[in-house]
Amino acid sequence: MFLLIGKLLIMANILKRLHTAYKIAGDWRYKDHNITLGRTDFSKKQAQGVITKLDLQTKALTQKSIKDWRMANQTAIDIDNPKRYYLYAIYDDTMHDLHLKGAIRNRKMAVVGKPFRVVDKKGNTNEDLTDLMQHAWMKKVMSYAIDSKFWGHSLIELADPVREDKLRFASIKLIPRHHVCPEYGVILPMATDWPDKGIPYREGELANFCIEAGDHDDLGELNSCAKESISKKYVLQFWDTFAEIFGMPIRVAKTASRDPKDHKKIEDMLDQMGAAAWGMFPEGTTIELVANAARDSYNVYDQRVIRANSEMSKAILGQTMTMDDGSSLSQAQVHETVADEVAEMDRDWIRDWINDMLFPFCIRHGWPLKGYSFNWDDAREYTPEEMQSIETMLLQHYDIDEQYFIDKYGVKIIGKRNQGPNDPDKNQESDNKKKSLASLNHNYYN
C-alpha cells in the first residue's frame, strides 16, 4: 500500500514538472507575437517576463563531499552541455562558512565603499553627474558585479528606469545563477535544461535590461575555497563528536551486589549526576572517573580548521593576517600591502567594467553620460589626528571659509567669538581693566 502511494506521488511530481515546462514553453511560443524559443525578437514586456517564468527550485543544503565537488566541476566544464547547477549548490553551502563570508565582505567593502567621481575627457570632475550616480542602485550593481569574482559570473537585471527627481533604475535584481548558462549566453527556463532551450540575453530585447559581469568560462574563486570549506565542516563535526565522547570523564561504578534493584539504583544515580553531585550506593560499590589521557587531542581538529581558514584567506584576500593574528608588526605590514594590492586590482577591474559595460547601458536608457567616464576619487583619506593637525595649521596661517566647517561638521556658525591672549580687542579690554584697577588702588591708598 505504502509503495503504491509512493509511486503515485512520484508520478504526480513528474506530471507537474511536465505541465510547468509545457506552460512556460506555451507562454513564450503562442502569446502576442508567436515567440519561439531561441529567437531574439522579444517584446519588452515579454522579455521582462522571462525572469518570472523561471522554474525556480528550493536550494538543497544537503551534506556535500569532495567527491560531489569533483563531479560538479566536471559537469560545469562539459563542452556540449555545461551545467553549473550542481557546482553552485556547493557554493551556496560554502557561503555559510563564517570565515569565508567575512573575507568576501572585507574584499567587497574595499571596492564598494570607496568614493568615485564622473569625469570628462580631460579628467575634470562633473559634480552633477557624480551626484546623479551616487545612488543606492549604483552600489547594488557594483556589489553584484564584484560577486562575479567569487561566483564566476553575474547576470544583472536593471529595469524600470525612473526619470522623476533623480534618474535611477527602480528594479535591480540578480538573475538566479542556477538558470544562467554564460558559456552560451542564455537563460535556462529550468536549471537542468540543455542550452538550446535557453533564451539569449546578449542580443534582442533581453539585452536592453540585462547586463553581465565576469568571463563566460570562469567558475570563480569559490571553486578553490569549496574543498577547504567541505573539509572544515567535516572536521568540525568530528570535533563535536570527540567532545561528546571524550570531553567529559567517564563515570564507572563497580559493585559486588547481584541484586537488580541495586543495579537500577546505581544506574539512576549515575545518570542524574550533575553539578555538586552525590550518591548513596550499596555496600561494596566504588565510583571511578576515567578521563582522557591525551591533553592536546583538540589540536588535530583545531589546526585543521586554522589551516582551512588560512587557505581560504589566501584565495580571497591574497594573504592571511588582515583577518587572523600575526607574529610580528613587519609581517602584518607586508600582508596589509598585499591586501591593498588586491583591492586596487578589484577597483581597476570594476572601473573598466563600468566604463565598458554599465555606462553604455545607461546611455541607451537616456542617461546623459556620453563623453564621460567613471573614475575613483583618489584624494587621500586622513586619520582624525592628521586632519586635526592640518586644520590647526591652516587656521593659524590662512583665512578659511567658515562654510567648510559648517559642511564638514554640521555645526551652524553665527559669528566670530573674540577670545584668546593674542586677540587685539581682548588685549585692549584687559589693559583698560588693569588701568582702571590700578587707578582705584592708587586713590584708595593715597
Q: How far apart are CA 13 and CA 233, in angstroms?
A: 33
Q: Would you list the domain boundaries of the chain?
A: 226-327, 386-445
More confident residue, 434 or 187: 187
Percent of the chain with pLDDT over 70: 70
Stretch 386-408: mean pLDDT: 78
Contact 67, 232 (CB under 8 A): no
User: At 317, is the pLDDT very low, low, confident or very high (cuts 50, 70, 90)?
Assistant: confident
- The residue written with cell numbers 572536521 in the block is 235
Q: Residue 375, Cβ neighbours under 10 Å: how many?
A: 16
Averaged pLDDT score across all residues of the chain: 77
Contact 387, 393 (CB under 8 A): no
Read off the pLDDT of residues 198-254 as tens digits, 9 standing for 90 and up. 999 998 888 888 999 999 989 999 999 999 999 999 888 888 887 777 776 767 777
Going by C-alpha positions, the residue among 73, 227, 253, 59 that lies closest to residue 152 is 73
Residue 324 pLDDT > 50: yes
Write down the number of H helices and E strands in the chain.
15, 10
Q: What is the pLDDT of residue 421?
A: 54
The C-alpha cell that represents 402 in the structure block: 567658515
Residue 33 pLDDT > 50: no
User: At 138, is the pLDDT very low, low, confident or very high (cuts 50, 70, 90)?
Assistant: very high
Q: How far apart are CA 197 and CA 177, in angstroms?
A: 16
Read off the pLDDT of residues 238-256 as tens digits, 9 standing for 90 and up. 888 877 777 767 677 777 7
Going by C-alpha positions, the residue among 290, 63, 89 that lies closest to residue 176 is 89
Read off the pLDDT of residues 338-364 as tens digits, 9 standing for 90 and up. 888 889 999 999 999 999 999 999 999
Which of these ranges, 238-242, 247-251, 299-303, 417-421, has the smallest mean pLDDT?
417-421
Read off the pLDDT of residues 88-112 as tens digits, 9 standing for 90 and up. 999 999 999 999 999 999 999 999 9
Q: What is the pLDDT of residue 329?
A: 58
